[in-house]
Structure 1
């Protein structure tokens, strides 16, 4: 269960935890020219910094698997609806992405090559091996270049749309760790929650949307710490929801 758009880490288990990482890669295929400085591919506009190590560590545990994007969000933002304006962003945090000024034919080609296989693969996996809980995992920059005055002090954000079952359990657990938790911060899951709206809320599947501040997970130690924390919290959330 893998392809150019996504790959599977770990072994999915019925009643286990499935991580969904829409923005864990900064890869741009050789035949796509975004027209940007290659150094930008290491910035938050291209990838959710720090997630790779967390996902790998969690998926190495029994009962946890991960459906992980293999392309940069600048190639195709997989956490958007198919016809959303930002699906192929022409600007991101003040940076122009000239290679995304594409016509309808090129847009359809990227949808068929990346977006649809990613979501079809996720749907098939969820149907074949239903998890007890989906962890939608992202990270956020402490400071936007386009709005440097904006304060983003939260260590972690918990996002959701209509289904807040997992969020209500997870938030106090995270706060008990001494963390500053943003409930629907740094932005609201009622505004940006496309992948979970489609694969979790629409199907009644419990999910936990988590955003970790990137400066906390920029090295191996921080990634290991958060992998450990999220593994036990997700298992506790899944047990409480299932019980």
Structure 2
């Protein structure tokens, strides 16, 4: 396990790789964000539930999980390296004073976390290409800064230009009796950096999933969604092109 990422399970050629940029709320001991520690348990610091779902899915043969190993408040791995929010100075109305960095410190933070995360993911995809990348995130039922804007979708499917997997997955999720957002609660055309870089740029099929956090805030919900996403991801992978269970 690296400081910036961790790999769970054994990647397989033609298998499924679950990628979760925001799976951890860890803040290294030598970084002081200057915030109430209670904020680290909220959505501004971590995609609640996705780390556990990735671990459960990676127990299945043919599935591995690649996860960010630091809080998105330390470095947001799903943002362009030059985006203002890659090292956020505020999130959902909360100031992050420890992230008011000078240019050298900002560059050092990116070199420490952002670069190795994306370098490792790129290398993994070349060494053992999956048949499908499952990009897994979660979202809060409402933002503190906009409590009037409810988010009724239990799950959202996000994509940029490549909607091959989305078109297969949306009806499968709806068949589970779920309220499914197509490019909701926000558009994958706006926030899709990791998949733009590692999937869209090379034509790799991917499925971008956002689960509402009240669905997966406990072990029971996480188990339900891990089983559901395993079934659906395998179905999507097969429909897109099949898979090969071996890895050389």
1:139 has 2:138 as partner:
yes
SS of the residue 1:209 aligns to:
strand
* Superposition map of 1:153-192 within 5 A: 153-192=152-191
Match in the other structure for 2:78: 79
Whole-Å separation in 2 of the counterparts to 1:30 and 1:116: 20
For each residue in 1:93-115, what CA deviation from the matched residue of structure 2 results, as whole angstroms up to 9, or x when unmatched? 00000011101110111111100
**TM-superposed deviation, 1:185:** 0.2
- C-alpha separation in 2, matches of 1:203 and 1:67: 18
Write out per-residue CA displacement over residues 75-123 of structure 1, whole angstroms, 9 at most, x where no aligned residue. Answer: 0000001101100011100000001110111011111110000000000
Rounded Cα–Cα distance in structure 1 between residues aligned with 2:101 and 2:178: 42
| Partner Cα distance (2:108, 2:146) in 1 | 34
Q: Distance in 2 between matches of 1:73 and 1:190?
A: 20
The CA deviation at 1:52 is 1.9
CA RMSD after TM alignment: 0.6
Q: Deviations over 1:6-46 (max 9, x none)?
A: 01000000000001000000000000000000010000000
Distance 2:18 2:8 in 1: 9
Structure 2: tracts of 5 or more residues without a match:
243-248
Aligned length: 242
Q: Output aligned runs, 1:216-227, within 5 Å.
A: 216-227=215-226
CA shift digits 1:141-176 (9 cap, x unpaired): 001000000010000000000000000000000000
Query: Quick check: 1:32 aligned with 2:31?
Result: yes
SS at match of 2:196: helix
Deviation, structure 1 residue 50: 1.0
Quick one: distance in 1 between partners of 2:109 and 2:90?
Answer: 18
The offset of 1:51, in angstroms, is 1.2
- 4+ long deviations beyond 2 Å: none
SS class of match (1:7): strand
Aligned mates of 2:238, 2:65 — CA distance in 1: 19
Mapped partners of 1:112, 1:218: distance in 2: 32
Structure 1 residue 203: Cα displacement: 0.6
Distance (whole Å) between structure 1 residues aligned to residue 51 and residue 67 of structure 2: 9
Cα distance in 1, alignment partners of residues 81 and 218 from structure 2: 34
Give the equivalent residue in structure 2 for 1:70.
69
**TM-score (norm. length: structure 2):** 0.97
How far apart are residue 54 of structure 1 and its match?
0.6
Corresponding residue number in structure 2 for 1:95 = 94
Question: 2:49, 2:216 within 8 Å by CA — same for their partners in 1?
Answer: yes
Structure 2 partner of 1:152: 151
d(CA) in 1 for partners of 2:237 and 2:51? Answer: 23
